[in-house]
Amino acid sequence: MLVFFTDLDGSLLDHDTYDWQPARPALDRLLTLGHAVILCTSKARAEVVELRAAMGIQSPFIVENGGAVFVPAGYFGATPTGKTRDGWEILEFGAHYPILVDALSQAAEMSGVSVRGFAAMTVEEIAARTGLPLAVARLSKQREYDEPFVVEAGEAAALCAAIEAMGFSWTRGGRFYHIIRGCDKGKAVAALADLYKTHRAVAKTVGLGDGLNDAGFLREVDSAWLIPSKRTADLLRLVPGAKLTASPGPAGWAEAVLDELELAG
């Protein structure tokens, strides 16, 4: 089998509309052939669970920039792969959410930078900033391992330096900065890939992403694909040997998947 690890926004999902229908025929073909599709995203678990169900995916998934891997109970056999909660076996890498919210507040005070994180935003504000429907924005606000935020006044560099000085990390996605600790898409992908190789006959691992925060996990797979974005030039330097699709978004995602299926025979 092939195991595909994919970013969402800007990759499988259109960056502006969140539409994934251009990728649907390729995704359906993957699932029909029995290959695994692992959503690897900065999105929250509640949001990914609904999206995954709509797409017909039953594989494990990775949330909040590698904060945790969620595996359906019993997916890899009778022995749990991690702690269990809400019907999931969970491999946790990230610090818990309240710690991050407090750390962001302290870093903002230390640096003199004004910030606004998801914890302070209403569902309506998140919807306005992201373009998500209210129902989806409500799911997106249910954070566990990663606090998205915007810089309202002051130098982002000063804030990021304060975050690092406190022993935390930060990353930047298409719309928000994120404060994290321990989260690592690369580490999460490597751990899940090992589980697949232990319990399944895996011929190849494939990665698809468009952002700088995807570089870590794209270096962990056998075949890396970059979906065109404003960050492509920088990402190519971070992931030597990666292939570039001709189209952006879900259309480019489908190109890469169909190419991999053709190579696999």
pLDDT at 38 over 80: yes
Instruction: Give the pLDDT of residue 81.
Output: 76
Share of the chain above pLDDT 70, in %: 100
CATH 1.10.10.10 fits 97-180, yes or no: no
pLDDT at 214 over 80: yes
pLDDT at 19 over 90: yes
- What is the layout of strands, in order, in the sheet containing 61-63? 61-63, 68-72, 88-92, 83-85
Average pLDDT (14-26) is 94
Chain mean pLDDT for the chain: 95
Q: Which listed residue (7, 9, 146, 210) is catalytic?
A: 7
Q: Which residues contact 20 (CB under 8 A, 6 or more apart)?
A: 12, 13, 14, 27, 55, 250
pLDDT at 31 over 80: yes
Q: Which of 202-206, 211-215, 220-224 has the lowest mean pLDDT?
A: 211-215
Instruction: Give the pLDDT of residue 15.
Output: 87
**Residue 203: Cβ within 10 Å count:** 11
Model confidence pLDDT, tens digit, residues 42-101: 899 999 999 999 999 999 999 999 999 999 999 998 777 778 888 899 999 999 999 999
Instruction: Give the pLDDT of residue 234.
Output: 93
Q: Which fold has domain 2-94+184-264?
A: Rossmann fold (3.40.50)
The structural domains of the chain, with segments of one domain joined by +, span: 2-94+184-264, 97-180
What single string gives the DSSP state of each residue in 51-67? HHHHHT--S-EEETTTT
Model confidence pLDDT, tens digit, residues 165-193: 999 999 887 789 999 999 999 999 999 99
Instruction: Give the pLDDT of residue 174.
Output: 73
Instruction: Give the pLDDT of residue 170.
Output: 94
- Cα separation, 38 vs 36, whole angstroms: 6
Q: Which residues contact 107 (CB under 8 A, 6 or more apart)?
A: 113, 159, 162, 163, 166, 168, 179
Instruction: Give the pLDDT of residue 161.
Output: 97
Question: Is 222 one of the annotated active-site residues of the chain?
Answer: no
